[in-house]
Amino acid sequence: MPGPHPAVAATRVAVRRTLASLPTAGPVLVACSGGADSLALAAATAFEASRAGLTAGAAVVDHGLQDGSRRVAAEAAEACRALGLSPVEVVRVDGAATPASGPGPGPEGAARRARYAALLAAARRLGAVAVLTGHTREDQAEQVLLGLARGSGARSLAGMRPVRALGADPEVRLVRPFLGVGRAQTVQACGSLGLTPWTDPHNADPRFARVRARLAMVLLEDELGPGLVAGLARSAELLRDDADALEEVSARAYEDLGPPPWEVRAVRALPPAVRRRLWRRVALAEGSPGTDLTGEHLRAVDTLVTDWHGQGPVHLPGSVRARREGGLLHLGRP
């Protein structure tokens, strides 16, 4: 008896490994938009969770940003139910609250925050230990390319983590099983399984940075040859190991220093890469949004230690402020 299509097998293997690696066994939730990536993920999760004796449901987030979004969400939910996922919820968030321009995270960042908040709430309601998303190898490569364009540090270039806490809740994991799976494979998997994915018109709208990165990668592959996507994704994996090691050193330094204010002399003795991670750690803890906190911000804080000549405070996103008073460095909300 012939086995499944190679693309279907690839998606199932990716999900099987993910489910086996979760630190806590329990119900999981697939974040499904109805697109090829998330629909292939829903199919693979329904198949593998059943074999593993796990409960698997789905959550469909409707941002209400496009005409017909309710219909698209309802069809995605029905497709998840037909695959055997249960329970399946459609969660609506206020698309009008997503800013179109101006200060803040921008429309993409704001929509992402709203989506993850809705997914976390759904996971808590349904008792899920993990939310699975359909980010693919191409998504990872696009993330790295955007980080390069912005001049971001190693953590940004390390791309998306395969597993991390969802929001501030360490009990619910955000899991990305498909970071090693190509987008073409998810499309092929849907076709082989007779699934009809939805095509999001926003995925072709050059107003969005991620779409521009996607178009740029096509051009780069034409000029540099195939393998660019895999190379960028592989670089992200290698950089993630380096960034994790530096994060551990930074965490130990934070424990040794205690909460700010810090003695400038003690902080100056740390390597620059560790100092920048300290600034970021405290800024995030004080409410500075990670999507807006850039390497330029962190370098400006560092000059208060390395090149201070009486300059005033450094203002960070989220109304967080860094200032130096004599031999002490203060970092937090005024």
Extract the annotated binding site for ATP: 33-38
CB 143 within 8 A of CB 135: no
Class of residue 261 by CB neighbours under 10 A (exposed 0-12, middle 13-18, buried 19+): middle
231 three-class SS: helix
Binding site: residue ranges? 33-38
Backbone CA torsion sign across 205, 208, 210, 216: positive
Backbone angles phi, psi at 62, to 5 degrees: -105, 110
The Cα–Cα gap between 228 and 236 comes to 12
Beta strand 28-31 pairing with 169-175:
unpaired
Helix (H) or strand (E) holding 263: strand 262-263
